[in-house]
Each structure stands twice: as C-alpha cells, then as structure tokens.
Copies of this chain bind each other. A is one copy, B any other.
Amino acid sequence: MNTEVCARFGIEFPLFAFSHCRDVVAAVTNAGGFGVLGAVAYTPERLEEELRWIDDHVNGRPYGVDVLVPGKIDKAAESGGGPAAMLAAIPDEHWNFLIGLFEKYDVPLPDFEKAKRANARGVGEQVTAKGATELIDVALAHPIGLIASALGTPPPIMVEKAKAAGIPVAALVGTSEHARRQVAAGVDLIVAQGGEAGGHTGEISTMVLVPEVVDTVAPVPVLAAGGIATGRQMAAALALGASGVWCGSVWLTTEEAETPPHVKEKMLAATSRDTVRSRSRTGKPARQLRSAWTDEWEGPDSPGPLGMPLQMIVAEGAMRQITKIAESGNPGARQLANYFVGQCVGLMNTVKPARQVVYDMVDDFANAVERLNAITSAD
C-alpha cells in the first residue's frame, strides 16, 4: 500500500503490531507489517536478550520497541526511595484484601514477602523514569525503527536520545489535547487510541478520536488504535484519515502468543461485552477481560485500587500465581484470571499464526475498499 507511513517505515502494509511476545513481533515484521515489542514487563537484561533474538529473526526488516513511561506515578515511586519506599507505601489493608481473595477463591497463597520484594524491584521500578531510561538505552543499541511511549508525554530524555540515534518516536494518546502536547514534545508519529482498546485507555471512541486527532496534528501522521482486529476496520481507520493502524489485542489469540492457554480460551469465547475498564491491575484505567478479579476489586468490599505502580506491585505477582495455578485446573484461579484486551475480543474467535492474521487483514481491507467503490461507482 501507498501511505506516507509505509514509505517512511519501509513496510508494505501500514499495520503496527504491539505485542509482549517476540515471536509475534518478528512474524508481523516478516509478513510486511511493523512489529513493536512491549518492553514494560522486562528487565534491561531480558530486553537485551529479546531484541537480540528479534534481530536474528527479521533479517534487517523494521521493528520497534514500546516503553511505558507514565506521566504521573505514585509519589512513593517518584521519591527515589526505591523498592523499599514503594513497599512501605502499600497499606496492609490491600495485602489483606489480596490474601482474602486467595482464600475466598481457594487458590494456594504464594510467598507474599518474596513476591512483594521481587515485584517492587521489577515492575515497580521499571515504570519510574530511571527504569524506563535503562530500557530505552537497551532498545536504542539495537537497529530499531521506532520507539514508542505508551502512557503520557515521553520524557525529554527519551526524545533526545531517540533523535540523537535518528529513531522516530511514537506516542499513544487518548485525546486531541494530549496529541497536541506530544507533537510539541517532538513526537513523530501519533497513535490515537480509542477507549475500546485493551490496556491503558481513555474514554473517547476510535470513531470520534481519530478524525479529531488527525485534524489536530496534521501533517504529523496518525495511526488508529482501539477495537481494530480486521481489515474492514483497518479500511475504516484509513477512511477516518489515519495513515495506518496499531493493533494489540488481535495477537493475543495467535499461535505464537504467550497468552496462557486458559486465558486464550476465555478470549476466544468472549463477546465484545466481556471487557471492563478497571484500575485493578496497574492503578490506571486499563481495559481487560472482566473476571472475578475485576469484580472483586471494583466491588463493595474492596479497599479500592492504589495508584501506579503500587497497584502493579500488589497485582502482578498475585496474577502470576493465579495464572500458574489456573493452568493446573483450579476453578477459583480460573474465575480470577484475566488479561488486558480490547472490545474487539468479540471478533477474535480462531487461533491463527500471526502471519496469517496480517494476510487476512490485508485481504479483508482490499474487499472493504472494493465494496466502497461499488457503492460510489454507480453514481
């Protein structure tokens, strides 16, 4: 296809694939799209390993890295006091609620003391500016074609380092105000993400947000994100003025995806009504499968989710244990288990290789354009 984004990023289809799974990233890149590895769950060492693997599998084709750099995080995490300060800021009430959940759903308790410390070091620190900077340094040492900031305006240091390395910077936005701010901060590619998207998301829908953002930041190119899992939707996004699309959810039910089998099953069975925008996993509103986990944290007995990254420290270790136990068939753990996914989960009903998802989207896109032409040609 012939869009500015295809020319600029050296790709055949303006389809950007966000995934935490290196196999998906490489498969999409090799199929003519642009894979973007979500780095938030990785330590710098692990990220280095993943990117080396990708380099070995894409034969010089373009791919990118996405780092989560929240604009605003809990002050205990910002204070520089490190993992200890973050742990000290988590009330006992929250740990007790979590322990109560494990008991209620009959899931064996993990070693909380150990998990707490590991999470505070891992997840907790990575979303601080210091943690993100380390990931950015690792990413920029590889031949990446894009670095993306998933939450809020990228910090000046990210933009500076990327510009010095000649790497374009992308940023996800949920409002046209944010888009304006991102462009002012030096962002080269805006991802306008509607509220139907999986993960951290706002409330304006893709149908409304994309034309608003396109008009606001022109001539800066805009990718549409949120709800997009088919070629018809890709055609719709381009009709709205986007220069391409950014998809995350659709890869979660591919053959390559790292999604745990029982969560994949939940996704294949889910309808578009089975997601909820909840703060219960990260502390910021993020769309995910509705499960006993989201119901309990949003319910009347809940102490309420903490801010980011404190809620991540509470939730991520617990969810790792829940996921592991769910695989063994534990019914309570299966009720609790979930994962981030958008409303388009209702359109994700078969397991395919990621490569095939790309080819099917391209076919479906062509059919949609043909249908539109048939509608207008008789005028």
Chain A interface, DSSP helix/strand/loop, else mixed: helix
User: Which of A18-26, A82-90, A137-145, A339-347 has 4 or more CB atoms under 8 Å from chain B?
Assistant: A339-347
The answer to whether A273 and B204 have CB atoms under 8 Å apart is: yes
- A207-B235 contact given A3-B375, A369-B373, CB 8 Å threshold: no
Q: Is the CB of A272 within 8 A of B236?
A: no
Query: Which residues does chain B contribute within 8 Å of A239, judged by CB atoms?
Result: 232-233, 235-236, 239, 368-369, 371-372
- Are the C-beta atoms of A371 and B238 separated by less than 8 Å? yes
Taking the full assembly, how many copies of this chain does it contain? Answer: 2
Point out the residues of chain B lying under 8 angstroms from A154, CB to CB.
none
Residue in B203, B207, B271, B374 whose CB lies within 8 Å of A207: B207
Q: Which of A197-236 contact B (CB under 8 A)?
A: 203-209, 211-212, 226-228, 230, 232-233, 235-236
Q: Give bound CA distance, A227 to B371, whole Å.
A: 22
Instruction: List residues of chain B with CB within 8 A of the CB of A195.
Output: 205
A41 at the interface (CB under 8 A from B): no
Q: Say yes or no for A2: interface residue by CB 8 A criterion.
A: yes
Would A372 and B238 be within 8 Å (CB), given that A176-B271, A378-B2 are in contact? yes
Asked whether any CB of chain B lies closer than 8 Å to the CB of A66, the reply is no
Q: Which of B175, B205, B241 contacts A196 (CB 8 A)?
A: B205
A59 at the interface (CB under 8 A from B): no
Chain B neighbourhood of A207, CB < 8 A: 194, 196, 205-207, 226-228, 233, 236
Interface contact B272-A343, CB-CB below 8 Å: no
Please report A residues at the B interface, Cβ cutoff 8 Å. 1-3, 175-177, 194-196, 203-209, 211-212, 226-228, 230, 232-233, 235-241, 271-273, 342-344, 346-347, 366, 368-369, 371-379
